[in-house]
Structure 1
Amino acid sequence: MLEDLKARNPHIAIYPVSDARFSKYGKVLDGFDFNQCLDIMQTRPIPEEGNCYVASDAELMGTDVAGELSRRFYAGMPVQIGYCNGNSSKLNALEYHKGSEVDVAVTDLVLLLSDIRNISHNELSSESVEAFFLPANTACELYATTLHFAPCKTSSDGYKSIIVLPAGTNAGLDSIPAPKCEEDYLLWMQNKWLIAHAESIPASKGAFVGITGDNIEINY
């Protein structure tokens, strides 16, 4: 699959998450058993169009690994386990949270990543974005400094992914405070700061437009 993706995407290098380049963005997680979650995800459909994000899924939260992640990975903090299924193939935007995110690939997928330190005065060039192949049944941690967004599909069937975050992340805000610094302009949801490309749906909904360059697309 990876070699085929590379051949179809000469415009961007695609690396496996096992590559040393991934180490500045996160790491592969081997110490947690997501099999119950993977079984549940077989019943969670991929929408015909667009993406579907569920921040917290009751069945996923009822698995053994949910408590294990809270106790061990987040050192006792409450967590949420949900999913993002969909049809994305473009960069569109980048977000970050103040706390690591765990992504589990239910299907093969591609992550488009950059580093928060590449943002300067709320602008970031898409040339700083790197692509990583996350094979099905693989879990990885994305550090708080890693810019990311919805995964990209590797086939016309779409993608499925499990998303673990500190509880409350991505919930709506009653109101967005008046900005007092540059970062405040990127505040979008609870524990979510977002920078959008002009061509994206988030931009059309009022997200701060700061990604310059091409809206990278992964061909499949």
Structure 2
Amino acid sequence: MSSQNNLERLKKLNPDLEIKSIEAGSFKKYGRIIKDQRLKKIEKHLSSETEIPESGNVYQADLDFFSDSELKKEIEKDYYGEMPVEIGYCNGKNSHLNGLEYHNGSEINIAVTDLILLLGEKKDIAEDGYNSENIETFYLKKGDIIELYGSSLHFAPCRADKKGFKCAVILLNETNFDLEFEDHNDPYLFAKNKWLLVHSEKTDLINKGAKSAINGKNIEVKI
């Protein structure tokens, strides 16, 4: 099935969600589309060398395959002002919002398969948390490359079909690594350069110290 036909199918299955293309003007407040053939090398590697788990998601922050590569140096120079980065991935079968995170610094995503992103804005976090009614839904087709700004709330992608999704994730180095200090007074700081809000249904992350602070529905993308 073509990406366009799949998008139309998902729209019919999810009439309560306005699923948009990243070409839509409303995407511009969250990020930008990147056209860079060099990054296709990452898509190709993840397509053939990584698997989608039977259930849930798997995340790897940094791949040894790209650790000393010329491509990594080019990404650092051209997209991150010569700051060191990590090139990893998130694969899975997720279909729910579950949580929202943000980082200081942009995140580059490469859709290795078609996938869906649920996005919000950091400015909409209120004293009592974040209302999921503010979420916007975007469809990425295989091969799409985007940069999400540091002000954008996001989390693991949602699958666009039953097989699941694969997504490359490029971030500033050591993002999502374990914190070194315990005396933080920010309730949302969950890992290095990772601020996280979760829905009350996401008890596994709450048990690990994540703040239950997403109000409203735990949005589900029906497939």
TM bucket (normalised to shorter chain) is: over 0.9
The residue type paired with residue 153 of structure 2 is: L
Which is worse superposed, 168-177 or 15-24? 168-177
Instruction: Decide which of 19, 22, 25 is 1:17's aligned counterpart.
Output: 22
**1:193 corresponds to which residue?**
195
Aligned mates of 2:191, 2:129 — CA distance in 1? 19
Per-residue CA deviation, residues 4-35 of structure 1 (Å, 9 max, x unaligned), is 11111111111000100000000111135222
Deviations 1:69-128 (A, max 9, x none): 101100110010000001110000000000000000000000000000000115110000
Partner of 1:78: 84
* RMSD of equivalent CA atoms: 1.2
Give 1:44's match in structure 2, choosing from 45, 50, 71: 50
Unaligned runs of 5+ in 1: none
| Aligned residue pairs, count | 216
Contact 2:52 2:91 (8 Å CA) reproduced: yes
1:40 and 1:59 in contact (8 A); partners too? no
Letter paired with 1:39? K
1:2 matched to which residue of 2? 7
Structure 2 partner of 1:136: 142
- Cα offset, 1:68, TM superposition: 1.2
Distance 1:147 1:102, change over 3 A: same
Identity rate, percent: 39
Among 109, 122, 127, the residue aligned to 1:121: 127
Contact (CA 8 Å) 2:33, 2:145: kept in 1 or not?
yes
Paired residue for 1:212, among 198, 201, 215?
A: 215
Unaligned runs of 5+ in 2: 1-5
Q: Compute the displacement of 1:206 (Å).
A: 2.5
